[in-house]
Amino acid sequence: MTFNHYIWLRMIVETLGALSCALMLILHNNVIGLIITAIVALLWICGEAWVLVTFGRENPRRDELSDKHQCDAMMFALGTLVAVMCAIGFALTLLPVITHIRYSLSPMLLPTLAIGALALSDARYLTLEHAAAKGADDED
């Protein structure tokens, strides 16, 4: 298994985690969402530990372009997360002024957005790696 295959699998696990958090957020059923979230968290932790053991010994990542792609992907996800949180905050500031009804957010919104940002970061990284493999990111 290559590192990019692992990132792809991790993106799927993180997407499942975001969906389970969204399930708890929408359905207000904490038991089902908690069970799914616990399973996803265990899969994620096991995968991260496996990567540290396997890839750290057999083929360490020392590629500067790949490191740049990881940095760009994290910055993209962070910027997107901040923009979404600002939009939600702005909307929840204006809604009570317009409708005169007080709104509150579920505590599960932040974990849902955070794990969604992790999945977005992995998707962006894979997109950048795929573009570089085709030669679209060649600087020479």
- DSSP secondary structure string for all residues of 4-45: HHHHHHHHHHHHHHHHHHHHHHHH--HHHHHHHHHHHHHHHH
Which pLDDT score is estimated for 98?
Answer: 92
Count how many domains the chain has.
Answer: 1
Instruction: Output the six-digit token pair for 84.
Output: 């979404």
10 belongs to a structural domain = yes
Residue 29 lies in a domain: yes
pLDDT digits (tens, 9 = 90+) for 1-22: 677 787 888 888 888 888 888 8
CA angle 10, 17, 56 (to 5 degrees): 25
Instruction: Evaluate whether residue 77 is within a structural domain.
Output: yes
Report field, pTM of the whole predicted structure over 0.75: no
Q: What domain range includes position 69?
A: 3-133
Question: Is 125 contained in some domain?
Answer: yes
Instruction: Tell me if 139 is assigned to some domain.
Output: no
Q: What distance in Å separates the CA atoms of residue 68 and residue 91, rounded to the nearest whole number?
A: 34
Is residue 60 in some structural domain? Answer: yes
Averaged confidence pLDDT in the chain: 80
Nearest to 66 by CA among 133, 20, 114, 115: 133
> Of the ranges 56-60, 97-101, 105-109, 125-129, which one carries the lowest mean pLDDT score?
56-60
